[in-house]
Amino acid sequence: MIFRRNQIFVSILILSFLIIGQACKKEVIDVSIPVPDVKVQITDKELFDLSVPNDGYTFFEDGNTIAGVTPSPHGNFRLKFNAEAASALSSDGKLPDGAQFPDNSIIVKEILTGSDISFYAIMQKQPGDVNAASGWVWGEYEADGTVFIGVDKKGSSCTGCHSENPNRDLTRTFSLH
Ligand code: HEC
């Protein structure tokens, strides 16, 4: 009788060790593969501040003033590309048809009233940003940085027109000008 009880006790003990062993093993496996959850999120101020200075930017058509054409919602403008965006342009200064801008490209449309900048319309290629729409972050600002259309609008008033044909990676200039 005593012998049997001991046997049951030992069996339960072994079983417990096995269960604890399995549980620990599982836990070790779970914590050994941490999955980073890093999201990019540029603010309106950061996007504006990256877009105002001309350092590192290349101007489209030598910085000449260009007249917007239908269906442009803007009048006269100048266009500039940061280094990442400029790296995708061919020798004629245009994005080749079917090509894509690399991530971190910034394209700034300086909208003019007379010879003064009245608005900045900006596209930043950043597919990982929480506010990206069709791979780009979209923002429009007054000359002093006042937000006109913030990045949090997720390009809702921009992408419809920018995805119309013809477009090159969502940009409209190269086929129209
Ligand atoms: C009704 C059509 C339309 C809407 C809406 C529109 N755009 Fe555009 N956009 C154009 C056209 C057309 C061009 C080409 C240049 C031109 O003729 O004005 C352009 C050019 C640009 C460019 C220069 C790069 C390129 O695509 O050639 C930027 C940057 C830009 N727009 C940003 C914006 C942002 C930001 C919004 C929304 C807040 C917006 N646009 C809304 C039509 C539109």
Q: What is the mean pLDDT of each run of 10 residues along the chain (177 residues)?
A: 58 54 55 66 98 98 96 95 98 97 98 97 98 98 98 98 97 96
Cβ 138 under 6 angstroms from ligand 1: yes
Residues 168 and 92 reside in one and the same domain: yes
The per-residue pLDDT for 135 is 98
| Span from the CA of 40 to the centroid of ligand 1 (angstroms) | 24
Alpha carbon nearest to ligand 1 atom 38, residue:
158
Residues 28 and 48 reside in one and the same domain: no
Residues 78 and 161 reside in one and the same domain: yes
Cβ 149 under 6 angstroms from ligand 1: yes
DSSP bridge partners of 142: 119
Residues sharing a CB contact under 8 Å with residue 44, sequence separation 6 or more, in sequence order? 139, 141, 147, 150, 151
Alpha carbon nearest to ligand 1 atom 2, residue:
161
Tell which atom from ligand 1 comes closest to the C-alpha of 67: 17
Residues 135 and 64 reside in one and the same domain: yes
The per-residue pLDDT for 57 is 98
Cβ atoms of 174 and 94 within 8 Å: the answer is yes
Residues 27 and 112 reside in one and the same domain: no
The per-residue pLDDT for 39 is 76
Cβ atoms of 138 and 153 within 8 Å: the answer is yes
Tell which atom from ligand 1 comes closest to the C-alpha of 173: 27
pTM for this predicted structure = 0.83
The per-residue pLDDT for 17 is 53
Residues 28 and 58 reside in one and the same domain: no
Residues 94 and 27 reside in one and the same domain: no
How many domains does the chain contain in total? 2
